[in-house]
Structure 1
């Protein structure tokens, strides 16, 4: 595969996630990240998902997927291409574990507790998932000599997906979260991209769901779930209505049987939570 094909077919979001870079602010088309090559308080790297490119407002540099790998790994083009070839381009699903970067080793979790901070209580209220506080934690952490806090959702490797009104980050190793249900008599699993959609699902259920729940915490983590999904007789998909969500849906449909696409419920919205908040 040549350079141009790689630039057009590999998701820039997946490449950034492979280095444990996650957006601070995001919508369906663009996102802001902290810079690749320096510490900063305000994110300056603008990523355009449609163009599959990034622009650093601090330096004026324009990045594609190849130059991102070059910048992070401090390597030449051939080595960058070799790294990108370890990704499954046709499916845009990560085949390797995220590498540790300065972000992965420079943080310190200082406190984990039940949700108490008024700002986080208000954020859960804004996302209409109050009543599900017992499923998440309040996580305080230190990063780049500054202290932060957010709503933490634990994954299967012991890491935390941390969200607040202004940022989104993963502390520790990136992984899926599989929640088993002892009442799962029909051997079903419901799949979500993020934990707010899972909390929304729990909010919508007047009674406990009879299915297991799998939260990917990123579409790039689907490879972590592939072996486990073979165990289920039915798979219900609550994925986002964006390109990553649609690609992931098609991959699952090709590999497994008895799939129910539940995104039709919120087809005019980005995801389940956005639809629920609009009602």
Structure 2
């Protein structure tokens, strides 16, 4: 296979920041010691973090497996795929979010705050392509999101911005997710007696994509932007007669769902819709993959 034909080259892939990529996959470090970021291994079950990323070298090592390497070595292990298949997974926007190379986090070094530079209409091709990969129609995303240009560590980037009730943004692109201050939940009020609740805005957009013809005012919406805002959201949610919960299928989301169900009969668990997936958007993307596979089998 000629990898020179790949839109994203092996060299470019190896330059991607492992810490940012693991964050995209939902893994955050359990501890940080100078340049070493320690994780509970994404490659196997464990309780004590023994998976290390050295951010200076941009290399990982799993002490339990006795294996390590660069991001491509990780991807092959994580997805059980070939180099070419992993490059295809990565392809879709690397060029607009460069890794923070040679800028390792130093212990006790203060975090550089993310600064919003400007807000414009969504029109950048890498962001639109990312939305298409997540099966979210651009016409829906542009109703609720903006293209946000921001500064971080003295470098400029841009991403899909979803504004919260306090004026801050949740920011996403294929290889980075962050929040600007102030951090808060997002409520969309349509004077409805029913409300749908989500952890993140991609799941909210996914529901809108699934029900494109359903009037928006048929429901109110709450995007928590962090499960820590659940208690703050309760007074607004419990004003409604029906509260539909579309929380993640991980331990945190499911525990929160069960707690809500035990507190009030208004709460309804809707996550059974995507019970074999991590969240609603993951399920939506999976539908597209299944349809493509079925179509391929018919050809």
After TM superposition, the score normalised by the length of structure 1 is 0.67
Q: 2:189 aligns with which of 180, 183, 205?
A: 180
Matched, 1:257 2:270: no
Matched, 1:144 2:136: no
Q: 1:191 aligns with which of 197, 201, 206?
A: 197
How far apart, CA to CA, are the structure 2 residues paired with 1:260 and 1:276? 20
Aligned CA distance change for structure 1 residues 30 and 107 (closer, same or farther; 3 Å): closer
SS in 1 for 2:116: strand
Asked if the contact 1:190–1:238 (Cα under 8 Å) also holds between the matched residues in 2, the reply is yes
Could you tell me which runs of 5 or more consecutive residues in structure 2 were left unpaired when the two chains were aligned: 1-18, 61-108, 288-299
Higher relative contact order (CA 8 A, sep 6+): 1
Matched, 1:269 2:281: no
Instruction: Look up the match of 2:6.
Output: none
How far apart, CA to CA, are the structure 2 residues paired with 1:265 and 1:27? 25
Aligned CA distance change for structure 1 residues 142 and 173 (closer, same or farther; 3 Å): same
Compute the displacement of 1:47 (Å): 3.0
Between Structure 1 and Structure 2, whose CA radius of gyration is higher?
A: 2
Instruction: Look up the match of 1:31.
Output: 27
Instruction: Look up the match of 2:105.
Output: none
SS in 2 for 1:175: coil
Could you tell me which runs of 5 or more consecutive residues in structure 1 were left unpaired when the two chains were aligned: 1-22, 61-100
Aligned CA distance change for structure 1 residues 167 and 34 (closer, same or farther; 3 Å): farther
Aligned CA distance change for structure 1 residues 143 and 28 (closer, same or farther; 3 Å): closer
Q: 1:107 aligns with which of 101, 114, 120?
A: 114
Instruction: Identify which range, 50-59 or 198-207, moves more after superposition.
Output: 50-59
Instruction: Look up the match of 1:48.
Output: 40
Asked if the contact 2:198–2:224 (Cα under 8 Å) also holds between the matched residues in 1, the reply is yes
SS in 1 for 2:129: helix
Asked if the contact 1:24–1:169 (Cα under 8 Å) also holds between the matched residues in 2, the reply is no
Compute the displacement of 1:259 (Å): 2.1
Aligned CA distance change for structure 1 residues 142 and 29 (closer, same or farther; 3 Å): closer
Compute the displacement of 1:32 (Å): 4.5
How far apart, CA to CA, are the structure 2 residues paired with 1:181 and 1:211? 7
Aligned CA distance change for structure 1 residues 37 and 109 (closer, same or farther; 3 Å): farther
Aligned Cα RMSD in Å?
2.9
How far apart, CA to CA, are the structure 1 residues paired with 2:114 and 2:24? 28
Asked if the contact 1:24–1:34 (Cα under 8 Å) also holds between the matched residues in 2, the reply is no
How far apart, CA to CA, are the structure 1 residues paired with 2:110 and 2:25? 27
Instruction: Look up the match of 1:171.
Output: 180
